[in-house]
Chain A
């Protein structure tokens, strides 16, 4: 079974659980697709909310629409070393408490503006005891941007990628470039 199928079937099994707000993750299944991390479906759903806060849906799709949360976890699971994984997971596990300490309620209960404030504040934390939180949010932001820009949707429908970039022009006036704006 490949990773996506595994995820899909797990989502079926645990679909109901995802909607139940819970602080006690120990009752939930661990998503097997990310075998080096201990991530539950509700954590993944929280990650989707964070990713959507970083790149929200609008005129065009946002991070969660494009399976960016899965991409983030795949990259953390497969491409980060153990130390970076540990910081990411510790920051991840502490995030809900951090959100509550900043806003008074669970992240999922905040409106978009409040969510943005929590994530932005978290990214800008400077104290040492927030290192892991900052690592978690920084890594999440980095992979959200990468996963969004390099998604099939963006690369085919919004900014089509070409395998053939065209002949080299070494002296192009920037003022002559087509600068039609893509609205988010």
Chain B
């Protein structure tokens, strides 16, 4: 019997455990497996195999009963996730429904989640802009949060490493605030986007730019990606369904199958992590407690090193729930800061306009990206009454439409032959940096639990005065730039959306130099439990303005190599 127990324990022992199979967890797993480390990846949701489990990927518009629309019943039952732009009939099965996984909103927070193998990497917007030292220097220069323990040079080789494997299309733009990377050929900007580019140059010199947004899509080097079983992006723009070509980077299409091929990966779906086991004698974490999603039975798994990549807020939840005599307030939480200094991206504002030039032109075909307006505010020095700045998306679109007045044969022929050409439609949306604050926090609810007996997360995150000032500035500056570019009918909006809908929540387990004021060191290890690494959004000290996933991938790959030095 004793031997049996030893065997059973050995069967459940790996060299590394990665909690979470999404964009950052799959990167940690890929690096570890590739270098011979026996790795267990735990995923709380169901398995999603590349292609096989993309049920809607090749469906035609008429095959959707509601032609893509979410039904009223689903919308009413799921007010939070229904606010997400990608929660539609074709991809609703990849999103967490509100009722299935409740949480406590001390203040309104739209928590958008994807519980399945691959996580939200199936659903993301695939924008991959590098951060720069204007971002990593930010907290120290502007006196908020704590100083980042790393700088751009520490991450640059890892950006290159992940860009090359994931496949990033873009142009070398030579902008210090948005460093160039390992790019596959970029997609074209259209004639009006180029016009705007030239107008910015004319009116603002070299201080403001509009460039092609870099995106994680394969647009070159095809033989190399064929090794992953991935092919050229076909510009279907149906990414949220899962891509049968593997045209964009997802864990399911890329890192997970790659890790699997090594023979070192054990992927365990339907495995909710309850907590991390801390051994006081050994002074380190020794494994995790897992609840089977279906049977609800608890089991333990063991490893020398543990990566926590459960997505930013769930990573906080797992650490907060990992209590022991040594860590009564959550694993590694000696300073009481675990769960605090959460921040996000401010997506509240947008500006749209029309352009009545270049009316002889239109566009054809598809592209998986659009224009991008890198941060220009407070870049070299503080120059406004708010801290930090914003980036923005930018695009110009045109297509024919039909006169839909009237009925009968006239209407029928009109809609079959759309031949009206309005002006170009111009759109921009803001992506603002928010300042991490102690008052923006997540914590465990004292009484409410989920279906598996795990405490519910309560979320207390809000905008502040800095965000309001930034919105005002974005609206003013964008309107001014649009006006100078000759755009007309300029409309500004602030939709007052709750935080969370940006799906860029970050922090709570921040990196820093000093164990008294941060949770993680410069290698993403918990200061007081160095065999536990956190490399997802939870580890972010500040948020920058760029879409953060690429940075999580780079941190995950870098930390995996750091961990392997000690295995």
A residues neighboring B (CB under 8 Å): 53-56, 58, 60, 62, 74-75, 78-81, 112, 116, 119-120, 123, 141, 145-152, 154-155, 158-159, 161, 163-175, 177, 179, 181-184
Interface residues in B183-203 by Cβ distance below 8 A to A read: 187-191, 193-194
Interface pick from B61-69, B381-389, B439-447, B543-551 = B61-69
> What residues on A are CB-neighbors of B408 within 8 Å?
53-56, 112, 116
Q: CA A56 – CA B408 in complex, angstroms?
A: 6
Most chain A CB within 10 A, of B193, B194, B360, B407, is at B407
Contact B416 A184 (CB under 8 A): yes
- Closest residue to B414 on the A side, CB-wise? A184
Contacts of A170 in B (CB 8 A): 188-191, 193-194, 363
Which of B21-29, B234-242, B469-477 is found at the contact surface with chain A? B234-242
| Chain B residues whose C-beta falls within 8 Å of the C-beta of A165 in the assembled complex | 235-237, 365-366
B57 to chain A minimum Cβ distance, whole angstroms, is 9
Of all chain B residues, the one with the shortest Cβ separation from A182 is B416
Q: How far is the CB of A45 from chain B (nearest CB, A)?
A: 19
**B72→A155 contact, CB < 8 A:** no
Across-interface contacts of B365 in A (CB, < 8 A):
165-169
Contact, CB under 8 Å: B235 / A167: yes
Known contacts A141-B407, A165-B366, A173-B360, A79 near B62 by CB under 8 Å: no
- Known interface pairs A79-B69, A168-B235, A168-B367; A174-B362 also in contact (CB < 8 Å): yes
A145–B415 contact, CB under 8 A? yes
Q: CA–CA, A147 to B65, complex, Å?
A: 10
A155 to B67, CA, bound (A): 12
Which B residue's beta carbon lies closest to that of A155?
A: B62
CA distance A175 to B421 in the complex (A): 12
Q: Which of B406-447 contact A (CB under 8 A)?
A: 406-409, 411-413, 415-417, 419, 421
For the complex, what is the distance from the CA of A135 to the CA of B454, rounded to whole Å?
48
Cβ-defined contact, A79 with B66, below 8 A: yes
| B residues in contact with A166, CB < 8 Å | 235, 364-366
User: In the complex, how many angstroms separate the beta carbon of B333 from the nearest chain A beta carbon?
Assistant: 45
Given the complex, which residues of A lie within 8 Å of B415, measured CB to CB? Answer: 145, 148-149
Cβ-based interface call for B567 (8 A):
no
Contact status of A150 and B364, CB under 8 A, knowing A55-B412, A170-B188 = no
Q: Which of A120, A145, A177 has the most CB of B within 10 A?
A: A145
Instruction: Flag if A174 contacts B421 (CB, 8 Å).
Output: yes
CB nearest to A165 among chain B residues: B366
Q: A116-B408, A168-B365 are in contact. List 12 more A-B contacts (CB 8 A).
A: A55-B407, A55-B408, A56-B409, A75-B69, A123-B407, A146-B67, A155-B60, A155-B61, A164-B236, A168-B235, A171-B190, A182-B416
When the two chains form the complex, which single residue of A74, A120, A145, A172 contacts B404, counting CB atoms closer than 8 Å? A145
* Residue B73, interface by CB 8 Å: yes
Instruction: Tell whether A174 pairs with B67 under 8 Å between CB atoms, given A54-B408, A56-B409, A164-B234.
Output: no
A158→B416 contact, CB < 8 A: yes
Q: List 12 A-B contacts (CB under 8 A).
A: A74-B65, A75-B66, A145-B404, A148-B415, A150-B67, A161-B61, A164-B235, A165-B235, A165-B365, A169-B364, A172-B361, A174-B360
Contacts of B5 in A (CB 8 A): none
Contact B407 A172 (CB under 8 A): no
Q: Evaluate contact between B406 and A169: CB separation under 8 angstroms.
A: no
A181 to B61, CA, bound (A): 23
Identify A184's interface contact among B65, B234, B406, B412, CB under 8 A: B412
Confirm or deny: B58 has a beta carbon within 8 angstroms of a beta carbon on chain A.
Answer: yes
Please name all residues of chain A whose beta carbon is closer than 8 Å to the beta carbon of B364 when the two chains form the complex: 166, 168-169, 172
Contact A62 B412 (CB under 8 A): yes
Beta-carbon contact of B413 and A168 below 8 Å: no
Pair A79/B235 contact, Cβ less than 8 Å: no
Contact B416 A120 (CB under 8 A): no
Q: 0/1 per residue, B66-93, Cβ < 8 Å to A?
A: 1101111100000000000000000000
Q: Nearest-CB distance from A114 to chain B (Å)? A: 12
- Chain B residues whose CB sits within 8 angstroms of the CB of A174 once the complex forms: 360-362, 421
Given contacts A168-B188, A168-B366, contact A81 B72 (CB under 8 A): yes
A150-B407 in contact given A166-B235, A168-B363 (Cβ < 8 Å): no
How many Å from the CB of A10 to the closest CB on chain B?
18
Q: Which residues of B contact A152 (CB under 8 A)?
A: 60, 62
- Select one of A81, A164, A169 contacting B363, CB under 8 A: A169
How distant is the Cα of A151 from the Cα of B361 in the complex, in angstroms? Answer: 30
Interface set, chain B 227-253, CB cutoff 8 A to A: 234-238
In this complex, the member of B70, B188, B190, B365 whose beta carbon has the largest number of chain A beta carbons within 10 angstroms is: B365
Interchain CB contact under 8 A, A163 and B58: yes
Least Cβ distance of B23 to chain A in Å?
25
The interface residues of chain B lying within 8 Å CB-to-CB of A74 are 65-66
Return chain B residues, CB-CB under 8 Å to A54.
407-408, 411
Q: How far apart are the CA atoms of A34 and B179 in the complex, in Å?
A: 56
Contact at B407–A78, with CB atoms within 8 Å?
Answer: no
Which B40-73 residues sit within 8 Å CB-CB of chain A?
58, 60-62, 65-67, 69-73
Contacts of A175 in B (CB 8 A): 360
Residues of A within 8 A of B361 (CB): 171-174
- The reply to whether A58 and B409 form a contact with Cβ atoms under 8 Å apart is yes
Alpha-carbon distance A149/B402, docked complex (angstroms): 12
By beta carbon, the residue of chain A nearest B189 is A170
Q: Which residues of A contact B73 (CB under 8 A)?
A: 78
Q: How far is the CB of A44 from chain B (nearest CB, A)?
A: 17
Contact with A along B509-546 (1 / 0, CB 8 A): 00000000000000000000000000000000000000
A184 proximity list for chain B (CB < 8 A): 409, 412-413, 416
Residues from chain A with a CB closer than 8 A to the CB of B413 are: 181-184
The 7 closest A-B pairs by CB, nearest first: A170-B190, A168-B367, A184-B412, A165-B366, A166-B365, A184-B413, A171-B191
A33 to chain B, nearest CB (A): 12
Which of A60, A161, A169, A179: most chain B CB closer than 10 A? A169
B235 closest partner in A (C-beta) = A165
Residues of A within 8 A of B367 (CB): 168
